[in-house]
Structure 1
Amino acid sequence: MGTKSIMKASALLAAAIVLGFLTVQGTYALWNKMVPVGAGTIQAADFRVSLTDLSTGVPIDMTDSAGTSALVSLKPTGSPSPGKPAYAGVRISNVTNAGSDFAVRASTGDVSITNVAPGLSGLLSVNMQAVPIEKTNCSAEDFAGISSSGSATATISKNSSAVFCFQILMTGDAPGGGSARVDVPIIVNQL
């Protein structure tokens, strides 16, 4: 190959490289355009359920920020005696801030009767019933025609509530002045 041919090939190659650099530079200028964008905010949805004693109307979150379950002390409508039950109620509200709709199912767990005074053992029982959400107190009419109910269940949509009523019964005579603690867990699961 002659010197003249090598020089032509080298010039052609150099021209191609320069043309390539010019082309890339123009494209790079388009890619390098800076457009300011404001910072976005991402927030996780809050799985919040609140419990409200019907007698006080004070709501509390079902769990605290550490995930510890709340304890709601309900105020019954008196003390049960043979033939005269006491009633209490709790409003369960689905107050989540999630962007989409989702429902939860609330249900009662097994009743636990503890710290029973002597003579009361075996004389106390609890019935539970899900009632219309308009209820502001629980009474005998909520349990009319029901012999016993071992649990209550309700499906609660977002920003809605359900009410569970409790009937505390005493069967038989018991010595006066005794007391007992009745615990009813409420379990809530997202559907």
Structure 2
Amino acid sequence: MGTKTTLRMVAILGAATILALFTVQGTLAAWNQTETSTRQIVTGADFSLAVKASGATTQQLSVAGQTVTIPGVTGLLPGATRTTAVTLTNSSNAGSGTFRIRVDPGLPKATGALAPYLTTVLYMVQGADCSVIRVSTAVELGQGQSGTLCLTVALAANAPATLGGAVAGVGFNLNATQLQ
């Protein structure tokens, strides 16, 4: 066989292969199957912090800027100190995983006529007893876990008698950050 004949045969075989590839339609898959899925619902978890002061109802904080009211101290005499325990609970409703938050209260600030004579302190304790040793001003809470924030208010012994019956407010920010 000559070189010309060999080249012709290679060209014919190449053309036949290309023509065969163009004429074959469809996939080269050996099987095909379809499954139908039912409608799926996806929802996000609610990130919230439950706040409950002694003698008050539980209030939920879920959006920045919300306000919670803690029952005030009444009948505070000069030189006296009162402490209010506030239970903070990570009440996220996430169904799975571990969702930890860090709750860090800001500095308390007194307002009103008594403010110059009030001393306020915020601190965290282990358990629910504010008379035990202070732990810190921040707490990390797992989902469903609680910590106790203690708010202590003291009226100075030198508060003037003319302020008898006066009212003051104490405010602070609770900063909650999701850790996981």
Contact 1:106 1:189 in 2 (8 A): yes
Contact in 2 for aligned 1:45/1:99 (Cα 8 Å):
no
Kept in 1: contact 2:115–2:168 (CA 8 A)? no
Percentage of matched positions with identical amino acids: 20
SS at match of 1:93: strand
Match of 2:117 among 123, 132, 143: 123
5+ residue gaps, structure 2, are none
- In the TM superposition, what whole-angstrom CA distance separates every residue of 1:64-101 from its partner, at most 9, and x where no partner exists? xxxx4221111145332223223323221112215211
Asked if the contact 1:76–1:86 (Cα under 8 Å) also holds between the matched residues in 2, the reply is: no
Distance 1:84 1:62, change over 3 A: farther
Q: Does 1:74 align with 2:70?
A: yes
Q: What is the TM-score when the length of structure 1 is the normalising length? A: 0.69
Residues in 2 aligned to 1:113 and 1:157: alpha-carbon distance in whole angstroms = 31
TM-score (norm 2): 0.72
Matching residue of 2:41: 41
In structure 1, distance between residues paired with 2:167 and 2:73? 15
* Cα-to-partner distance string for 1:137-178 (whole Å, 9 max, x where unaligned): x6xxx24677xx9x7211111111111011110012332111
Cα distance between partner residues in 2 of 1:26 and 1:127: 74
- How far 1:129 sits from its partner (Å)? 2.3
Is the CA contact (8 Å cut-off) linking 2:59 and 2:68 kept in structure 1? no
**1:122 is paired with a residue of what secondary structure?**
helix
Aligned residues: 171
For 1:43, give the aligned amino acid.
T
SS in 1 for 2:150: strand
State whether residues 80 and 168 of structure 1, in contact with CA within 8 Å, keep that contact through their aligned partners in structure 2: no
Return the letter of the residue paired with 1:181: G
On the 8 A contact 1:94/1:156 being kept in 2, the answer is yes
**Aligned partners of 1:131, 1:153: CA distance in 2, in Å?**
10
Post-superposition CA distance 1:85-127 (Å, at most 9, x none): 233232211122152113111111122212x22xx34210112
> Distance between the aligned counterparts of 2:20 and 2:66, measured in 1?
73
The equivalent of 1:112 in structure 2 is 109
CA pair 14-144 structure 1, distance change in 2 beyond 3 A: closer
> Where do residues 1-191 of structure 1 align in structure 2 (5 Å cutoff)?
25=26, 27=28, 30=31, 32-63=32-63, 68-96=64-92, 97=94, 99-114=96-111, 116-117=112-113, 120-133=114-127, 135=128, 142-143=130-131, 152-172=137-157, 173-174=159-160, 175-191=163-179
CA RMSD in angstroms, aligned pairs only: 3.5
Is the CA contact 1:52–1:92 (under 8 Å) kept in the aligned structure 2? yes
Moved more, 90-99 or 156-165: 90-99
